[in-house]
Amino acid sequence: MPALLVVDRAVPLVRDVIGRRDGWTSVGTGGLRRIDLPDAVYASARERCTGVDEDRVMAVPVSGAPMHMRGEGAPMPTRAQLRDRRDSPGGAWTGEGVLVGTVDTGVQPHPWLAGGYLSAPSDFEPHPAAGDGAGPTEPLEVGHGTFIAGLVLQQAPAAGVWVERALGPTGEALSSQVAEAAMTLARRGVQVLNLSLGCFADDPNSREVMQQLVDDLHAVSPEMVVVAAAGNLGGPGEPATPEDFWPAALRDVVAVGAVETPTSTRWAEWSNRGRWVDLAAPGSRLVSTFVEGTVATTDGEQLRYEGWARWSGTSFAAAVAAGAIARLMTGRRPLTAKEAVAALRSGAYSSGWTRPDGAVPAVPVVRLATWDQQQAAPTAA
């Protein structure tokens, strides 16, 4: 008697086939169910449900490959700077005691991140020199999780970042893998969950499954907030129409798009946007922690990195917002995660508001704590 794993759009169709819900068994989270079906019913369900045994593929939203840091004249942060900031007079604004979870490609050991992240051995990314298993034409996103962790800690240096690995080196994972990792973090008590990943999905049933995942997360951890990237559109000069990106477009998820520069209120041309976007944050050419080693680009170029890079994408705008929430939670008047989100939505700790863009309303631009500002004692928003 075969077991049918029902994922995404298949759920209501299979219910119609069997006419009942007796015998359903939960598989992970996000509305996934399994049931043992007779062969005839199993075949009927497969015939009526395209992709019935396949998850929705979710990927990291980035723009281009990481840019090399050599020759750009930007001073590199050091591990000492992180320690100094934790002990600074403004330490109440550093995110101390806040746990930020992120589902990503994993993390790599990095001197600057030391003491700022938690990760099991299985959650470490493969080192580029060790081989990543990707084909020569596949885009590599090794280092994405390490980059995210560094951005969160730039905004809230004394916070803890719990990295749960679900995405492969190509930056992709099945929705069930993301759901399992997210639920693990919720059970561990993270106050802020960062999801710098997602997908464009036209199927309403797929969206229902993702909404069930968010509902399940909040059932486990009612006070936790979920922050998600709004997604990227086409590359420079490529025409693209903004559309819903999931899970960012779900209710009870803080959706974050990207602006051009830390001082700009103009949307980055590749940033997705819509009525469902709650915040914007700098997401272009940000500096953060990265791998140490040689990474091959999609055009065959070999780039050597020394632990730092510049990168662009709504992935990184979301990480900036997640770090800002942790920062606000340890301010002069400590806030809960939900109160911090409300403060950001009202314009607190912002550098301005985006301009309305057609049907897209103006939203606050989260302030970026830059490297050179970190040595000064922070002030209240």
Query: How far apart (Å, rounded) are the C-alpha atoms in residues 56 and 213?
Result: 13
* Band of residue 180 on the pLDDT scale cut at 50, 70, 90: very high
Quick: pLDDT tens for 219-242: 999 999 999 999 998 765 665 688
Catalytic positions are 104, 144, 315
Other Cβ atoms less than 10 A from the Cβ of 235: the count is 11
**How many residues are listed for the chain in this entry?**
381
- Each residue of 256-307: pLDDT tens digit? 999 998 889 999 999 999 999 999 999 999 999 998 888 876 677 778 888 8
- Domain spans, the chain: 3-54, 57-376
Condensed to tens digits (0 to 9), the pLDDT of residues 5-54 reads 222 222 232 233 333 334 433 333 333 333 343 444 334 333 333 333 34
Q: Which residue spans within the chain are E strands per DSSP? A: 3-6, 25-26, 33-36, 57-59, 63-67, 99-104, 117-118, 160-165, 172-174, 192-195, 225-229, 253-259, 279-282, 286-296, 302-312, 350-353, 364-366
How much is the pLDDT for 354? 94
CB atoms within 10 A of CB 373: 11
Query: Within 10 A of 41 (CB to CB), how many other CB atoms are there?
Result: 16
Q: Is the pTM of this model over 0.85?
A: no
- Mean pLDDT over 179-205 rounds to 93
CATH class given for the domain over 57-376: alpha beta
Report pLDDT for 206. 79
